[in-house]
Amino acid sequence: GNSVTQMEGPVTLSEEAFLTINCTYTATGYPSLFWYVQYPGEGLQLLLKATKADDKGSNKGFEATYRKETTSFHLEKGSVQVSDSAVYFCALADAYNQGGKLIFGQGTELSVKP
């Protein structure tokens, strides 16, 4: 079945450091890929998405490129801020095989220090 694997956290960085959070997926169809973010005490918010191979999703300085050849969707940001401290979830939705339901990774906690 479909699944998502993320790098384990927590990830601790200094402000202005470069961020990469790895995400790989297994899917039998042609999934759409997502990154959600959960700030402390809040629900999940969609951060960015990509619906087909080689698409790049971007938002708030974060980027992720849908790589079909490596089945990856790594999240990157060039210069993190303290306000980026949150839990980041990679997810996929496969409309043809699982009715478009979201399959989440386990989440990666990011802590950014001043």
Partner 1 sequence: ETGVTQTPRHLVMGMTNKKSLKCEQHLGHNAMYWYKQSAKKPLELMFVYNFKEQTENNSVPSRFSPECPNSSHLFLHLHTLQPEDSALYLCASSQEGDSLYNEQFFGPGTRLTVL
69 Cβ contact partners less than 8 Å away, ≥ 6 residues apart: none
Is 101 a binding residue for partner 1 by CB under 8 A? The answer is yes
Q: Which stretch binds partner 1 (CB under 8 A): 17-25, 38-46, 53-61, 65-73?
A: 38-46
- Candidates 21, 44, 47, 112; binder of partner 1 (CB under 8 A) is 44
- Candidates 19, 27, 35, 49; binder of partner 1 (CB under 8 A) is 49
Q: Residue 106 pairs with which residues in a beta bridge?
A: none
Strands 75-77 and 62-65: antiparallel
CA dist 114 and 63 (Å) reads: 22
Is 26 a binding residue for partner 1 by CB under 8 A? The answer is no
**Alpha carbons within 13 A on the beta-carbon side of 94:** 16
Binding site residues, partner 1, CB under 8 A: 4, 32, 34, 36, 41-46, 49, 51, 89, 93, 95-96, 100-102, 104-107
